[in-house]
Structure 1
Amino acid sequence: MGETGTRAGEWLAWALSKVEADHGAVHLLFPQAERRGGAGARRALLGALHADEATIRTLYERGDTGERLTILAALPELGLGAAAVPLVEDALRTNDARLVTAALGPYGARWLDDHAFRQGVLKCVFMGIPLASVSGLDRRTDAELTRMLSDYATERRAAGRPVPHDILERI
């Protein structure tokens, strides 16, 4: 490990000890974690919160896109159960393809109700996000989602527009 790696590791160890002692410390440390502690430092800090849902929610609400992406990606590991569904639903309301894609990762596939999951899949279709990026799509596809995709394909054809290939594979 080089000098920079050593400093990053030392910073991360120090930051983890601060967060373990006081979860509130994460609010100052999380934004700088990747720069000071290296790749994966934000995820490590989230793990040190031991499923403190309120703190994780606040980090998400106050975070920039990169911080939100890290939180969404880490959700399956954080032991929050369904408590973080509102964060996923928030990401699905954005027009940022990265956030929408992250929202439909493993956590969203596990915890979103059927209606929200279907709406998220349609949002991907409307935004041009490949359906292959939706976790659990094969498992979660039901008759209603198939009907919705089929209706979308019918509307596209009626308008003389092409139907995305990944939709054709599902209907």
Structure 2
Amino acid sequence: MTRPHAAPATPEADTTGGPATPGDGATPALTPPAALRRRLDDRLGGAARAWLDQALDEAAAHPGAHGPVSVWELRLAEAGRRCGPAHADTARVLILHAAHADADALSRVYFQGTADERRAVLHALPHLVPDDPAALPLVEDALRANDTRLVAAALGPYAARHLDAHAWRHAVLKCLFTGVGLDHVADLDRRARGDGELARMLGDYAAERTAAGRPVPEDLHRVLALTGSAPATSPHGTDDPHGKES
């Protein structure tokens, strides 16, 4: 898969360091598109609902790429203004789903889009390419971001299925380091269960925080318990969630 040139990820609202949950009460990555549509129909006003109906019809009628920019990609850019920032994630996921966007189309939208469009692509991955690892570079890119909403969106069911153990452990540490709640990490219980290396990393991180007189996140104790390890401290560790495993 060829990556388009990455455009600056400009948010339509305050996304960097802001709340990691979507504003309409749904988690787009975990909710079937039909349920997302019903939920959005209940929340949008008449004009916004009419715009969404038209955008979805256009996407279904003209899937894939048509010229330099497809019509449904233009609608993605309008979603925040038309549906409101609180509902834009869900509207964009529905448009991507109606357009049957594949891994190449998702990559193009992600790397050329705003932070909000990138977040919608991440939410759409389990609906559109659940078994295709070709979109994994999008998750990896988001996990390098400073935008906590991108980090949270990256750790949905697609990441739970495709991230290898090393990358997944460091994603968990990044959540703890940046304050992203571990409720956003899909399949946390299964992947953390019995993971001794994750337990070691968590213990090292807790020890560093304690030695520096800094609080240990509550979520750390929760995930440490999932690994089957008792809370522990270690004299060896790093405060950097991107440090190498030994």
Range into which the TM-score falls when normalised by the shorter chain: 0.7 to 0.9
Q: Is the 8 A contact 1:101 1:133 kept in 2?
A: yes
Aligned partner of 1:30 in structure 2 is 76
SS at match of 2:63: helix
Aligned partner of 2:181 in structure 1 is 130
Aligned partner letter, 2:146: N
Matching of residues 94-109 of structure 1 within 5 Å = 94-109=145-160
Deviation of 1:41 after TM superposition, in Å, equals 3.5
Residue segments in structure 2 that go unaligned for 5+ positions in a row: 1-40, 225-230, 232-246
Q: Is the 8 A contact 1:43 1:74 kept in 2?
A: yes
Alpha-carbon displacement from aligned partner over 1:99-138 (angstroms, at most 9, x marks no partner): 0111111111111111111111111111022222211111
Deviation of 1:55 after TM superposition, in Å, equals 1.3
Matching of residues 53-72 of structure 1 within 5 Å = 53-72=103-122
Structure with more of its chain in helix, by fraction: 1
Change in Cα spacing, 1:100 to 1:7, as seen in structure 2 (3 Å) is closer
Q: Greater relative contact order (Cα 8 A, min sep 6): structure 1 or 2?
A: 2
Q: TM-score, normalised by structure 2?
A: 0.62
Q: Is the 8 A contact 1:85 1:112 kept in 2?
A: yes
Matching of residues 71-150 of structure 1 within 5 Å = 71-79=121-129, 81-141=132-192, 142-150=195-203
Aligned identity (percent) is 49
Q: 2:220 aligns with which of 142, 167, 170?
A: 167
Change in Cα spacing, 1:19 to 1:37, as seen in structure 2 (3 Å) is farther
Q: Is the 8 A contact 1:33 1:42 kept in 2?
A: yes
Q: Distance in 2 between matches of 1:20 and 1:89?
A: 24
Change in Cα spacing, 1:21 to 1:135, as seen in structure 2 (3 Å) is closer
Would you say how many aligned residue pairs link Structure 1 and Structure 2?
171
Change in Cα spacing, 1:86 to 1:162, as seen in structure 2 (3 Å) is same
Q: Is the 8 A contact 1:20 1:48 kept in 2?
A: no
Bigger drift between 97-106 and 127-136 goes to 127-136
Q: Distance in 1 between matches of 2:156 and 2:125?
A: 9
Q: Name the Cα RMSD after superposition.
A: 2.4
Aligned partner of 1:17 in structure 2 is 61
